[in-house]
Amino acid sequence: MKTNIALIILLAFIASGCGYSSKSLYRSDIQTVCLEMFGSNSFDREVEFELTAALGKKIELLTPYKVVADRSSADSIIYGKVKSVEGRILSQQRDLDRPIQEEVKVVVEVTWKALRGKAGVLIDGQDYSFHGDQNDMVGISRNGAISQAVDKLSDEIVVSMTKDW
């Protein structure tokens, strides 16, 4: 009796389709992406270079898209700017008045536009923010914390390049 009920539930589950699809998560009308150098409003140096390089590597690694330098040969373009890099001190060495542990938050704005096919804005000035943790006790500097945040940001931007379900 229990096996019959389990079999009926299994068949109903299979027949319903379960919401899964074998279609690609990425747009088929885009094969190439021109990744422009990110700008920066931050006083922290070279964050925009690090973000642009990390995003280019993640696009090539995790998506079917090819990053190209020439805008005229690209199907789409991604650009943006680092809006801010902010630190929040979590613990401080009192005698030297310096942070031991700090949370560093990086905020970026990203725009992705399709240039061919169904031309239009795919990501419209969307803000992304992540933090990294600076900790002198384990040897992670402020720059290391910024690198952590940039790595997480590039992952999140690539995830947002998938099609809507």
Alpha-carbon distance 71 to 149, whole Å?
Answer: 28
Strands 32-35 and 66-68: parallel
Alpha-carbon distance 37 to 1, whole Å?
Answer: 65
Query: What integer pLDDT is reported at residue 29 of this predicted model?
Result: 83
Q: Which residue has the higher pLDDT, 14 or 36?
A: 36
∠ Cα 79 83 86 (to 5°): 140
- Here the tokens at position 158 are 């690539």
- Taking the domains of the chain in order of start, what are their residue ranges? 36-159
Rounded to an integer, the average pLDDT of 39-56 is 91
Per CATH, is 36-159 categorized as 3.40.50.300?
no
Rounded to an integer, the average pLDDT of 154-159 is 93
Query: What integer pLDDT is reported at residue 140 of this predicted model?
Result: 75
Rounded to an integer, the average pLDDT of 102-119 is 87
pTM equals 0.78
Rounded to an integer, the average pLDDT of 46-71 is 94
Alpha-carbon distance 52 to 158, whole Å?
Answer: 12
Query: What integer pLDDT is reported at residue 2 of this predicted model?
Result: 60
Q: Give the pLDDT band of residue 157 (cuts 50, 70, 90).
A: very high
Per-residue pLDDT for 18 more than 70?
no
Burial code of 51-67, b = ≥16 C-beta within 10 A, e = fewer? Answer: bbebbeebbeeebebeb
